[in-house]
């Protein structure tokens, strides 16, 4: 039986998330009536995407850790494919990238079979050595270090960073007696997305001071708004889903906010380098899959190591 059904706390969290999304949908529909048709259509598409993503995430949580790890594996494969399609100069070696796909699957199989330590210690080594070995036999040494560096970056971001969500649900079940491992997974995902949303809304309304030239739309006001939202959400959700103390939850919220912003900026820097606004079009109204998971690639490792530091 899945942990979502077993744990009432997680079940109510999932219900609350869907209610929040429903209320947000009604508000968004009410506010786009008088907007230009192209903007209204884009925001409606974004709402549809949010619903699809939410149903997939909650559905995986209902089934349990194996479904979550399977979903993460699919997302990582799609994200690396999207990364490979970015207009880098010189273009990335597709052969080296395609040969990396089986190792992504192997990484998640390690999590699925309880070999978390092997994933943590060996996947970064694979991400460095595998592209080097494959490119050695490509017959073209031009831009060797650039190619290796970019492919390694892609593997680390799309699989190793995001894979820490899989590490959370691969922890021993007794690690979080309040709501199980699914509670930790939902907590990180929810706070990360709330940080993104709050940062964007506050920045759009009152943002004046640019946070960095990497992303002109990021402002200090938006960053602080996201940080406050993340801290409050961490206290509320964490008190419901974990055994963490108030102080630990506040620190967790701050860490997730900072890490989420850095993850967003990390992918913004890549898109700025290649001269594109969105990483793809897989998610209508929101861009590509990298645009959706960029923050999680930093928040998942941050929370995982903070949690293990607190409790192990």
The 10s digit of each residue's pLDDT in 189-198 is 999 999 999 9
Asked if the structure places residue 111 within a domain, the reply is yes
Please tell me the total count of domains within the chain. 1
Among 27-31, 83-87, 222-226, which stretch is predicted with the lowest mean pLDDT? 27-31
Cα separations (Å) of 220 from 168, 198, 203, 215, 228? 31, 12, 8, 12, 12
Each residue of 151-190: pLDDT tens digit?
999 999 999 999 999 999 999 988 888 788 999 999 999 9
Q: How far is 153 from 258, CA to CA, in rounded Å?
A: 20
Asked if the structure places residue 132 within a domain, the reply is yes
Report the largest interatomic distance among the alpha carbons of the chain, rounded to a whole angstrom.
Answer: 58
- pLDDT over 90 for what percent of the chain? 73
Asked if the structure places residue 264 within a domain, the reply is no
Under 8 Å between Cβ of 46 and 285: yes
Res 43: pLDDT: 87
CA dihedral 28, 196, 18, 173 (to 10 degrees): 180
Asked if the structure places residue 257 within a domain, the reply is no
pTM comes to 0.93
**When comparing pLDDT for 300 and 28, which is higher?**
300
Res 217: pLDDT: 87
Reply yes or no on whether the pLDDT at 33 is more than 90: no
Each residue of 260-308: pLDDT tens digit?
999 999 999 999 999 998 898 889 889 999 999 999 999 999 999 999 9
Res 3: pLDDT: 43
Q: How far is 142 from 135, CA to CA, in rounded Å?
A: 10
Count of alpha carbons within 13 angstroms of residue 277, beta-carbon side: 6
Asked if the structure places residue 74 within a domain, the reply is yes
C-beta neighbour count of 70 within 10 angstroms: 15
Confidence of residue 6 (pLDDT cuts 50, 70, 90): low
Q: Which of 271, 260, 257 lies closest to 293, judged by CA?
A: 260
Each residue of 101-154: pLDDT tens digit?
999 999 999 999 999 999 999 999 999 999 999 888 876 677 899 999 999 999
**When comparing pLDDT for 112 and 32, which is higher?**
112
C-beta neighbour count of 275 within 10 angstroms: 9
Query: Does the CA dihedral 123-259-290-48 come out positive or negative?
Result: positive
Range of the domain at 84: 65-170
Under 8 Å between Cβ of 78 and 121: no
Asked if the structure places residue 276 within a domain, the reply is no
The mean pLDDT of 213-219, rounded to a whole number, is 90
Reply yes or no on whether the pLDDT at 74 is more than 90: yes
Asked if the structure places residue 72 within a domain, the reply is yes
Res 178: pLDDT: 76
Each residue of 228-250: pLDDT tens digit?
999 999 999 999 999 999 999 99
Reply yes or no on whether the pLDDT at 4 is more than 60: no
- The continuous run of DSSP H or E covering 88 comes out as none
To the nearest 5 percent, what fractions of the chain are helix, strand and coil?
80, 0, 20
C-beta neighbour count of 173 within 10 angstroms: 11
Q: How far is 18 from 59, CA to CA, in rounded Å?
A: 12
Asked if the structure places residue 245 within a domain, the reply is no
Reply yes or no on whether the pLDDT at 5 is more than 50: no
Could you say which DSSP state residue 283 is in?
B
Under 8 Å between Cβ of 268 and 213: no
Res 104: pLDDT: 95
């Amino acid at each position: 039986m899945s942990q979502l059904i077993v744990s009432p706390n997680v079940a109510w969290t999932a219900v609350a998330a869907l209610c929040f999304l429903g209320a947000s949908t009604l508000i968004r529909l009410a506010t786009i009536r008088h907007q230009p048709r192209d903007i209204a259509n884009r925001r409606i598409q974004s709402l549809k995407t949010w619903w699809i993503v939410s149903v997939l995430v909650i559905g995986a949580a209902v089934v349990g850790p194996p479904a979550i790890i399977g979903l993460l594996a699919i997302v990582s494969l799609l994200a690396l494919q999207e990364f490979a399609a970015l207009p880098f100069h010189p273009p990335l070696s597709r052969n080296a990238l395609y040969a990396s796909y089986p190792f992504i699957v192997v990484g998640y199989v390690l999590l699925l079979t309880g070999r978390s330590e092997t994933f943590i210690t060996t996947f970064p080594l694979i991400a460095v050595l595998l592209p080097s070995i494959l490119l050695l036999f490509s017959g073209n040494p031009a831009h060797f270090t650039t190619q290796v560096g970019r492919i390694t970056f892609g593997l680390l971001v799309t699989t190793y960073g995001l894979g820490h969500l899989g590490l959370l649900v691969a922890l021993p079940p007794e690690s979080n007696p309040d709501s199980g491992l699914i509670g930790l997974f939902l907590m990180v995902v929810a706070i990360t997305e709330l940080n993104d949303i709050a940062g964007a809304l506050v920045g759009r309304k009152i943002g004046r001071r640019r946070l960095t030239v990497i992303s002109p739309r990021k402002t200090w006001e938006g960053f602080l708004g996201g940080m406050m939202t993340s801290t409050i959400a961490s206290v509320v959700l964490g008190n419901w889903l974990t055994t963490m103390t108030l102080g630990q939850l506040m620190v967790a919220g701050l860490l997730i906010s900072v890490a989420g912003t850095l993850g967003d900026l990390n992918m913004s820097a890549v898109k700025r380098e290649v001269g594109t606004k969105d990483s793809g079009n897989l998610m209508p109204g929101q861009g590509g899959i990298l645009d959706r998971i960029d923050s999680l690639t930093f928040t998942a490792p941050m929370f995982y190591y903070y949690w293990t530091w607190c409790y192990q």
